[in-house]
């Protein structure tokens, strides 16, 4: 089972799950021993198929660090916090996260897009 650590030491994921904002982006940083990378990708793929079927899911993309890094980043878009909360707290999903390799550490955090003139669109 993966160990959950907070990405932000001030605002926990549990606090974010109480919000009613949307749309939101989940960024989840995973670290794992190099020998367990394939097991992490297998577990993530299993979870992603589940999440893909949940109401409010928009898309996801897994990224891997370069140059031999064993750090992965999942970027997932959800219509709103309520949809992500329902999927994340679903007993089936909670059971699935027990299938991550023992060395896996996960750091999930929710974000919202910012609009910045001539650079970013909301």
pLDDT per residue over 22-63, tens digit each? 999 999 999 999 999 999 999 999 999 999 999 999 999 999
Residue 116 lies in a domain: no
Q: Is residue 120 part of a domain?
A: no
pTM above threshold 0.85:
yes
The kind and range of the H/E element at 41 are: helix 37-52
In a domain, 121, yes or no: no
pLDDT band, very low/low/confident/very high, at 111 (cuts 50, 70, 90): very high
Residue at 72 is within a domain: yes
Q: How many domains does the chain have?
A: 1
Domain assignment of residue 117, yes or no = no
For residue 93, give its domain range.
3-111
CA 12, 27, 69, 106 torsion-angle sign? positive
Phi/psi at 88 (5° precision): -65, -35
């Amino acid at each position: 089972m993966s160990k959950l650590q907070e990405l932000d030491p001030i605002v926990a994921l549990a606090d974010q799950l109480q919000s009613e904002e949307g749309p939101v982006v989940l960024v989840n940083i995973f670290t794992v021993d190099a020998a367990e990378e394939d097991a992490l990708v297998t577990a993530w793929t299993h979870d992603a198929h589940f999440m893909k079927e949940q109401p409010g899911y928009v898309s996801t993309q897994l990224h891997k660090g370069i140059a031999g890094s064993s750090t992965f980043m999942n970027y997932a878009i959800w219509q709103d916090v309520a949809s992500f909360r329902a999927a994340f707290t679903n007993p089936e999903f909670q059971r699935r996260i027990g299938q991550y390799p023992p060395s896996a550490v996960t750091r999930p955090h929710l974000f919202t897009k910012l609009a910045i003139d001539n650079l970013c669109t909301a």
